[in-house]
Amino acid sequence: MASEIAIHDTNSLKDKIYTIRGVQVMLDSDLAEIYGYEVKTLNQQVKRNLNRFPSDFMFQLTRDEFDFLRSQFATSNLKSQIVTSSWGGVRKLPNAFTEQGIYMLATVLRGELAEQQSIFIMRAFREMKHFLQTNAHVFAEIENIKKHLLDSDIHHREHDRQIDELFTLLDKYNVKDTHGIFYQGQIFDAYAKFKSFIQQATKEIVLIDNYVDVSTLERLADKNSGVPVKIYTAPNTRLTAQDIQNFNTQYPTLTVNYTTRMHDRFMIIDHSILYHIGASLKDLGKKCFAFDVFDASFIPDILAKI
């Protein structure tokens, strides 16, 4: 077996998900690396259980599909992941697994690693689907502009203005926002916003929240590698010692402290940014809430009074 890659968040998987034949898939070489298998060994397991992998679960790429992928992702590590012969030719075209096929693959490979990695893969597929659905109108408008540019002689400055205005629609999660309101049902929007806040941290994240559970840790798992997290929460929190230990196994280092002195929720990034949050991280988007950025001069007082 090969050494598996470490998955710290779903973002590390998104560049390994391709759209082929109108569906999102992952290649056998990437899945083998993630699950800790040689490509040949993984495909042998699939071959032994071929009745579990119908064509809507797995299919082999054609030469044209493979060549198109290589041309589209020439700067990525795609080319190096394909099984090649000593003279540089492709010995075997890769197999592509759909979301259902990846789930089935985990049952065939079995083991704690396969189950654990599959959870991250399923989340990556889910997030990409949400993003595509949420921004479908943006992508459609981009295609309309492309067609318009081919058929017209509009001045280049006008083109640039239209495209710039369009792409501001994709900037709705701008980390520079100092305040905002999320309404009930905006779960993905709120999650994406706070993910951008969390990923700012390079030194430390401090979360003050009386109501935390495992879903709170799922949010914090998006932090940059090596950034420690401190949580201050109520003594009756739903977070268990086992939850904390499990988190630290993959995303060190988390420490949890207990206090009854705080009512509001705050998040402090690198001792320099102070967010006041109207909802617990576990409840983002479930009901209407707001966030605001406070003056960083309040940080020492808040930490002192915890």
List, for residues 160-199, the tens digit of each pLDDT value.
Answer: 666 565 555 445 555 567 888 888 888 888 888 888 889 8
Residue 4 has pLDDT above 50, yes or no: no
- For position 288, what pLDDT does the model report? 93
Q: What is the mean pLDDT of residues 21-35?
A: 87
Lowest-confidence segment of 20-24, 171-175, 245-249 by average pLDDT: 171-175
pLDDT above 90 for 150: no
**Distant-in-sequence, close-in-space partners of 225: CB < 8 Å, separation ≥ 6:** 8, 251
What pLDDT is stored for residue 143 in this prediction?
64
Q: Residues with Cβ < 8 Å from 79, sequence gap 6 or more?
A: 70, 73
| Residue 98, preceding peptide bond in cis (omega within 30° of 0) | no
Return d(Cα 152, Cα 144) in angstroms, integer: 12
pLDDT (0 to 100) of residue 156? 61
Query: Is it the case that residue 140 has pLDDT exceeding 90?
Result: no
Structure tokens at 288: 């209407």
| 3-class state of residue 62 by DSSP | coil
Say if CB 166 and CB 144 are below 8 A apart. Answer: no
pLDDT for residue 2: 46
Q: Which amino acid is at 40?
A: K
Of the chain, the percentage scoring pLDDT greater than 90 comes to 37
Q: Which residue has the tokens 């992952």?
A: 26
Radius of gyration in angstroms for the set of CA atoms belonging to the chain, rounded to a whole number:
23
Predicted TM-score (pTM) of this structure: 0.46
Q: pLDDT of 259-304, one tens digit each?
A: 999 999 999 999 999 999 999 988 888 889 999 999 999 999 999 9
pLDDT band, residue 17 (cuts 50/70/90)? confident
Instruction: Write down the pLDDT at residue 114.
Output: 57
- Stretch among 74-88, 110-124, 197-211 having the lowest mean pLDDT: 74-88
Note the pLDDT of residue 89. Answer: 47
pLDDT score of 86: 34
* 281 DSSP 8-state letter: G
| Torsion 188-212-112-34 (CA) sign | positive
Out of 157-161, 170-174, 205-209, pick the least confident: 170-174
Highest mean pLDDT among 83-87, 162-166, 231-235: 231-235
- Bridge-based pairing of strands 58-60 and 179-182 is unpaired
Query: Average pLDDT of the chain?
Result: 79
